[in-house]
Amino acid sequence: MDAATTVVPWLGWTVPVTLLCIVITLLYLYGTWTHTTWSSAGVSGPKPLPFLGNIGEINKKGFFHCLQEWGKQYGKMYGIYFMHRPLLMTTDVDILKEVFIKDFADFPDRLNANPLQPYPVNQGLIGVTGDRWRRQRHTLTPTFSTSKLKAMNKFITRCCHNLIAAMRKNTEEGKLLDVKQMYGSFTLDVICGTAFGFETNALGHEDNVFLNNVKAIFAEARVFKVGNIIAAVFPFTIPFFKWLGYSSMPKKEARFITETIRSAIETRRKDGGKGRVDLLQLMLDAEATGSEIAGNPQEKRLTTDEIIGQGFTVFIAGYETTATTLQYLTYLLALNPDKQEKLYREIVDTIGNAEPTYDNVTSIKYLDSCVREALRCFPPAALTSRGALAEKTIKGVKIPAGAGVGVPIIGLMRDEEFFPEPDKFIPERFDDENKDAIPSIVREMVFGAGPRQCIGMRLALYEAKMAVVTVVRQFKFVKVPETPDEITFRPGFALALPLRPVLVGTQLREA
């Protein structure tokens, strides 16, 4: 046998195997190249998988579950990865103050793990970054001033009356209260009426087209979807996904809401506003073209796409978050009849039978404590974050440029250091005489913190209080066999969406 006959077959399989090994090794290195960021900074955390980081576990068990479990296991600081993006999760108050407030200029945007943010979300406050965010935020902040909120009272009061009528009918028909369905209809009617000046009439109409579309958007609001993951891991695929018209939101429903906003804009343009002072009018008064804005970026202006993006965000955020707050507060009141009775007494003793107004609902101290405690027990958003513009060392931990600092809101709200007996509904912890024991950044963190805190916070609190005053004066909420003892959240969602509808019984108070 000569040398050639032995070498050639050997070469025949070695070359492809060697190439395959090289490709696998390179892929592995690519899929794990950032995954030592936290271990080399001395920060522990759950083991990341190549490419995916920790999102496999999050998708399976859920944000709410993982963020609580990891907090118990690793303490006030631990490192995770959204695909290749390192995220330092922390409930350390000093770090939170530094990142969210003091050094905001170094951490101005939330960490965005989705490079395929769909239109029009990518045009509004939730999606934009840097100077574009600053200009938009400046323009929109006046919408939520006290005088603007007070001006909404008449419309919200009308929605409160419709809420009572719908709840009364439900009770008289002997039905259990599907809490989210009822409050979702209320918050949708409120947000569309107060922000855009059109009526959705969702209350009392279960098959309402606006409600069905917005519900469908949230039913599909898992954070990590296959397309987003592939695009984040392999950025060269982004143009391909765009070419395919990929969207992480259900297309038909997103288009319906976009077109609803567009038609509200058209109607308003035609009627000229007629002295309106709502969000839509404020945005239209600031409308400008992209080139006008580029010529003077400091001015409070918005492009038409930005107005649509803002409208879309407010439409869906205004519906979901406040309905979630009301859902869990009602549930907690049903589970804690003594607290419910105390709240009822406080409302009646403070404002009697008066129509709720901005001034009188904000004067009921125990109401504020109950709303905040419900938000603490079940924060509508599980987490928020900030991305580092440049490398930064905080409390000895090096945070590389592009990495993020996240706050596990659910973990912070269940931290025994700030909230003893965290699993109990104890509104008194937010009473004036007790609340200073909780650092203010922790108290408020359900809405985020610093200049990028939730812009709708004051509207949400006001609207929730109007609804609670209205319903608690008229109904008792009671636990029934169908009421869950514990809430299980839908896995993969960063929002506090329960796996099954929350049902409670209702009794008319005068009955």
Which is it for strands 404-408 and 85-90: parallel, antiparallel or unpaired?
A: parallel
* C-alpha closest to that of 360 among 504, 126, 150: 150
Q: Which is nearer to ligand HEM, 223 or 454 (CB)?
A: 454
Output the smallest distance, CB 395 to ligand HEM, in A: 20
Find the shortest distance in angstroms from Cβ 174 to ligand HEM.
31
Among 46, 79, 380, 408, binds ligand HEM (CB under 6 A): 380
Q: Name which position in 77, 126, 466, 495 contacts ligand HEM (CB under 6 A).
A: 126
In the bound state with ligand HEM, the residue whose beta carbon lies nearer, of 302 and 459, is 459
* Short-list 362, 355, 344, CA closest to 157: 355
Question: Which CB sits closer to ligand HEM, 91 or 384?
Answer: 384
Give me 332's structure tokens. 């907690």
Give Cα 43 to chain centroid, integer Å: 27
Q: Is 66 annotated as a binding residue?
A: no
Query: Quick one: 202 or 459, whose CB is closer to ligand HEM?
Result: 459
Q: Which of residues 214-243 bind ligand HEM (CB under 6 A)?
A: none
Q: Which of 248, 281, 325, 470 binds ligand HEM (CB under 6 A)?
A: 325
- Selected range binding ligand HEM among 6-14, 315-323, 412-420, 466-474, rule: CB under 6 A: 315-323
Query: Restricting to residues 471-500, which ones interact with ligand HEM according to CB under 6 A?
Result: none
Provide the 8-state DSSP code for 5.
H
* Binding footprint of ligand HEM, residue count (CB under 6 A): 25
Q: How far is the CB of 422 from ligand HEM (least distance, A)?
A: 18
Integer CA distances (angstroms), 271 to 266, 267, 274, 301, 302, in order: 9, 6, 7, 21, 20
- Nearest approach in angstroms of CB 321 to ligand HEM is 3
34/453 with CB nearer ligand HEM: 453
Residue 110 or 135 with smaller CB distance to ligand HEM? 110
Residue 197 touches ligand HEM, criterion: CB under 6 A: no
The pairs formed by 296-301 with CB atoms below 8 angstroms and a separation of 24 or more are: 297/131, 297/135, 298/135, 299/135, 300/135, 300/138, 300/139, 301/135, 301/139
Count of residues in the chain: 511
Q: Which of 381, 399, 410, 468 binds ligand HEM (CB under 6 A)?
A: 381
Site string for ligand HEM, 443-472 (x = CB under 6 A): ---xxxx--xxxxx--xx------------
E strand or H helix that includes residue 49: none
Q: 487 CB contacts (<8 Å, ≥6 apart)?
A: 328, 331, 378, 496, 498, 502
Question: Which residue, 230 or 265, has its beta carbon nearer to ligand HEM?
Answer: 265
**Residue 387 C-beta: closest distance to ligand HEM, Å:** 11
Is there binding between residue 317 and ligand HEM (CB under 6 A)? yes
Closest listed residue to residue 406, CA positions, set 31, 42, 38: 38
**C-alpha 132: how far from its chain's center?**
21
- Using CA atoms, how far apart are residues 464 and 192, in angstroms rounded to an integer? 16
- What strands lie across the sheet with 475-478, from one edge to the other? 177-178, 503-508, 475-478
Q: How far is the CB of 27 from ligand HEM (least distance, A)?
A: 34
Q: What is the dihedral of CA 475, 478, 481, 482, to 10 degrees?
A: 50
In the bound state with ligand HEM, the residue whose beta carbon lies nearer, of 48 and 456, is 456
Task: Give the nearest distance from C-beta 101 to ligand HEM in angstroms.
Answer: 10
Cβ 149 to ligand HEM shortest distance, Å: 11
**125 counts as binding ligand HEM under rule CB under 6 A:** yes
Residue number of the CB closest to ligand HEM reads 448
- Cα atoms in the 13 Å half-sphere on the side-chain side of 142: 12
Please give the residues from 129 up to 148 whose contact with ligand HEM meets the rule CB under 6 A. Answer: 137
Residue numbers 95-124 binding ligand HEM by CB under 6 A? 110
Whichever of 347 and 446 has its CB closer to ligand HEM, that residue is 446
Tell whether residue 367 is a contact of ligand HEM (CB under 6 A). Answer: no
The span from the CA of 96 to the CA of 76, in Å, is 11
Torsion of CA 384, 389, 390, 395, to 10 degrees: -20
Residue 283 binds ligand HEM, judged by CB under 6 A: no
Residue 61 or 134 with smaller CB distance to ligand HEM = 134
Strand partners, 87: 80, 404
CA atoms within 13 Å, Cβ hemisphere of 233:
23
Q: How far is the CB of 409 from ligand HEM (least distance, A)?
A: 6
Rounded to whole angstroms, the Cα distance separating 199 from 123 reads 25
Whether residue 120 is preceded by a cis peptide bond, meaning omega within 30 degrees of 0, is yes
Listed in sequence order, the residues at least 6 apart from 346 whose beta carbon sits closer than 8 Å to its beta carbon are: 364, 365, 366, 367
Min CB(18)–ligand HEM separation in Å: 49
| Residue 323 C-beta: closest distance to ligand HEM, Å | 9
Using CB under 6 A, which of 384, 470, 474, 483 touches ligand HEM?
384
Contacts with ligand HEM, residue ranges (CB under 6 A)? 110, 125-126, 137, 313-314, 317-318, 321-322, 325, 380-381, 384, 446-449, 452-456, 459-460
Mark the binding-site residues for heme, compressed into ranges. 454
